[in-house]
A and B are shown apart, each in its own frame.
Chain A
Amino acid sequence: MSFNESQVDKAAGQATVMVAPPAENRVLDVRGLDFFYGKNQSLYGVDMPVERNKITALIGPSGCGKSTLLRTLNRIYDLYPGQRAEGQILFNGENILNAKDTPADAGPATGSRIGGDVAKLRARIGMVFQRPTPFPMSIYENIAFGVRLYRKVTKAEMDEIVEVSLTRAALWDEVKDKLDKSGLGLSGGQQQRLCVARGIAVQPEILLLDEPASALDPLSTAKLETALMELKDSLTIVIVTHNLQQAARISDHTGFMLLGRLIEFRPSSDAFVRPETEAMRDYVTGRYG
């Protein structure tokens, strides 16, 4: 998977080939985003709109920066000293990169780096990871954990939240009789849907998924995709995937990234049929440099 130098030069010089959704439909608007791991820059001037109640897929070869881009959207990179983002990420018009109330290089021991606005941001932008990350507690408690961070609810209300969340994640029927069993006892696919349920239980506007199906078998993947398609009614999804068929199947918009730049961003229906850039054409047809 290597691109030759002419493509690297092109990637560096080109503006993103973009067919953007209308501004009033955007829930997120990334503008001129640079990202640094210490001294190494890994995102270069990324502009990307995210349309409300749609699925946006990010594709590209390993190391192209798609996961990095995703991880800036909920500021999860804050956990790691030395990682920083510059530019703008407008979430409903508000730049989330300014949500910090202490400088980014302050030590994590102060505890304030993820407090305040950033915690609220994460309540509204949830995340599901590559490997399933059920908490070491019961299925019920896995869901209740996030809810309790923000709301005081009665047992009956919590029961309902748990049922609705699991139903929307297409997991309810499989676990309704064992809600008090450990989440660790579920299969990988079930665990991943539990993580989706946990994420949507706090009622986020956006759900970020970082290669959520890469550790799942095809059947589990299909179930997860079905759940995501149905979730679109109530929230916005941004998904990083290595699976081009998956991106084509479920996404409304596709962004193709290469070497830290967003090369092409278009409606998926067009992007996969007629990629405009040579780089994306090579990538989706499996031909490289």
Chain B
Amino acid sequence: MATTENSPANTLPGRTVDRYARRKVINYIFIALTSVATAIAITALVMILYSLVAKGFSGLNLTVFTVDTPAGGEDLGSGGLRNAIVGSLLMCAMGMVLALAIGIMAGTWLAEYGDGNKLATAVRFLNDVLLSAPSILIGLFAYELFVVPFHGGSAIAGAIALAIVTTPVVTRTTEDILRLQSNQLREAGVALGAGKGLVIRSIIWRASRTGLVTGGLLGFARMSGETAPLLFTTAGNQFFSMNVTQPIASLPYTIANFALSADDNWRRLAWVASLLIAIAVLSANIIGRQLARGSQHK
């Protein structure tokens, strides 16, 4: 490995053992380095999860789900996150509908009609750029487009911002998943006389069902933790609201607001909100991965 002598196929026993021992040592060092790196990464993850669970669980009670966010300065343990939870669910649901509708259609177009098409190459590239764009930029964009003209944040603006963050994820996974289907399956549908569109809708999509659901769940996981797009667009709301044209509360927004305050009760709720998001993201990821694994075994 590290030896530089260019001895051609030296078969002397002593030298062979010499190199072998050296290789073994290098191997051990390499394993040790990778193990340490892994340990550091896992330690960080465990510490985050630990503090989340420790501080989040202790503040968790039934009123978290039944009472809205409290005003500052109230007793520790009072108030809840009902408005933020409902706001998050509402915006995630709207955002997912948008992201899935656009993402699945766009991904399908890229996979099924995009070969050798310059526009498709451009769309794919821009989608990848959007995929890694800082979400605060997307928040600003949504703010300019959907908040400024209407003189105030709203749940719709938040949902659109979330959709913009998630659509590239769904587009990308959809394209990847559809490309896994064999061309012979497409040809088999066309050979019966079905149009390409029908083949895609009733055969290719169906064959890719699990993968598409997985992509949706991973998109949801990404979306449910996003804070930046909501900061400018939803304006937050201390009260319960399901009016999509009005400002609305959300978990990430509440965390951003409460976590840095001096109010103990607010900080407690920030931890609880973080725990809830972590649970949502984790379960979406686990379910998504399980589904993906299940489909590979078929």
Contacts and interface: CB of A to CB of B under 8 A. Distances in A.
Do these two chains really belong together in a complex?
A: yes
B207 to A, nearest CB: 4
A81 interface: yes
Interface string A89-122: 0000000000000000001110100110001111
Contact of B195 (A115, A121, A136, A137): A115
A81 B202 CA distance: 23
A135 B184 CA distance: 11
Contacts of A79: 186-187, 190, 196
Given A79-B186, A130-B184, A136 B203 contact: yes
A122 B192 contact: yes
Contacts of B193: 119-123, 146, 149-150, 202
Contact of B191 (A82, A115, A120, A126): A126
A227 B186 CA distance: 25
Contacts of A121: 193
B11 interface: no
B213 to A, nearest CB: 14
A145 B192 contact: yes
Nearest to B183: A79
A195 interface: yes
B123 to A, nearest CB: 13
B50 interface: no
Contacts of B196: 79, 108, 111, 114
Contacts of B197: 111
Contact of B192 (A107, A136, A149): A149
Contacts of A195: 188
A189 interface: no
A133 B202 contact: no
Nearest to B205: A136
A131 interface: yes
Contacts of A202: 192-193
A76 B195 contact: no
B118 to A, nearest CB: 11
A215 to B, nearest CB: 11
B184 to A, nearest CB: 5
A145 to B, nearest CB: 7
Interface string A31-45: 000000000000000
Contacts of A145: 192, 194, 202
B187 A129 contact: yes
B187 to A, nearest CB: 6
B185 interface: yes
B116 A127 contact: no
Contacts of A137: 206
Nearest to B192: A146
Contact of A133 (B182, B194, B195, B209): B182
B174 to A, nearest CB: 17
B115 to A, nearest CB: 8
A78 B203 CA distance: 19
A184 interface: yes
B189 interface: yes
Contacts of B185: 133, 135
A115 B193 CA distance: 8
Contacts of A74: 191
B113 interface: yes
Contacts of A130: 184
A150 B184 CA distance: 22
A81 B116 contact: yes
A260 interface: no
A149 B190 CA distance: 11
Interface of B: 113, 115-117, 182, 184-198, 202-203, 206-207, 209, 298
14 contacts: A74-B191, A79-B190, A111-B195, A111-B196, A115-B195, A122-B191, A122-B192, A133-B187, A135-B203, A137-B206, A145-B202, A149-B192, A149-B193, A149-B198
Interface of A: 74, 76, 79, 81-82, 107-109, 111, 114-115, 119-123, 126-127, 129-131, 133, 135-137, 145-146, 149-150, 184, 195, 198-199, 202
Q: Nearest 5 A-B pairs (CB), nearest first?
A: A133-B188, A127-B191, A122-B193, A146-B192, A136-B207
